[in-house]
Amino acid sequence: MHSSLAAIHRVFSALATVALWISGLGLVLMTAFVAWQVWGRFVLNDSPSWTEPASVMLMAWFIFLGAAVGVREGYHLGFDVLLYAVPPAVAAAMKSLSDLVVLAFGVGMAVYGYQLTVRTWDATLPALGLPGGFDYMPLVGGGALVVLFSLERLARRFAGLENAPPEPMTEV
């Protein structure tokens, strides 16, 4: 079982690295788009219409992908004072319950994000000329990653590896 988890860990580490690279690229592109908008508005007196919706779409991608990686790495804020006051078995159960709640939230993000994507696909984003569903695709991608990374955390805990969290990603 540990060899299977090690293989899954390697795949999910690569997936998290790709998600962070995409997030970083999105942040850089969004910054460039906003700078172009400011330049166009105040210097050229002709603000490009596509920069704001494109920036918002990129922001959604890097927020949801980054949040999913935060789930995997355990970087999100948590109220863990109670974990120090209960026996280790109860603390492990509480951590598992927390991961299950995050998993359910990720399922909701992916399922309802998919429904929004499908329902708005036929609309067109006027400034970008893209289907309206593109606005909701980050919910699907981020939700799917939250589900996968929550399952990984649960599997590691049930395998007795809860005190060995994934190594911090230094290559990003």
Exposed / middle / buried, residue 162 (Cβ in 10 Å: 0-12, 13-18, 19+):
middle
Domain tally, the chain = 1
Look at residue 167 and tell me whether its pLDDT is greater than 70: no
pLDDT band for position 78 (cuts 50, 70, 90): confident
Q: Is residue 129 in a domain?
A: yes
Instruction: Confirm whether 165 is domain-assigned.
Output: no
- Asked whether residue 14 is assigned to any structural domain, the reply reads yes
Q: What is the mean pLDDT of residues 78-87?
A: 84
In a domain, 167, yes or no: no
Alpha carbon distance 76, 58 (integer Å): 21
Is residue 166 one of the residues assigned to a domain?
no
Residue span of the structural domain in which 58 resides? 2-158
Residue 139 has pLDDT above 90, yes or no: yes
- Residue 171 counted as domain residue: no
Q: Give the tens place of pLDDT for each residue, 27-56.
A: 999 999 999 999 999 999 998 999 999 999
> Is-contact 123 132, C-beta < 8 A?
yes
CA distance 10 to 7: 5
Domain-located, residue 128: yes
Would residue 164 count as lying in a domain? Answer: no
Question: What is the reported pLDDT for 172?
Answer: 54
Per-residue pLDDT, averaged over 145-159, amounts to: 93
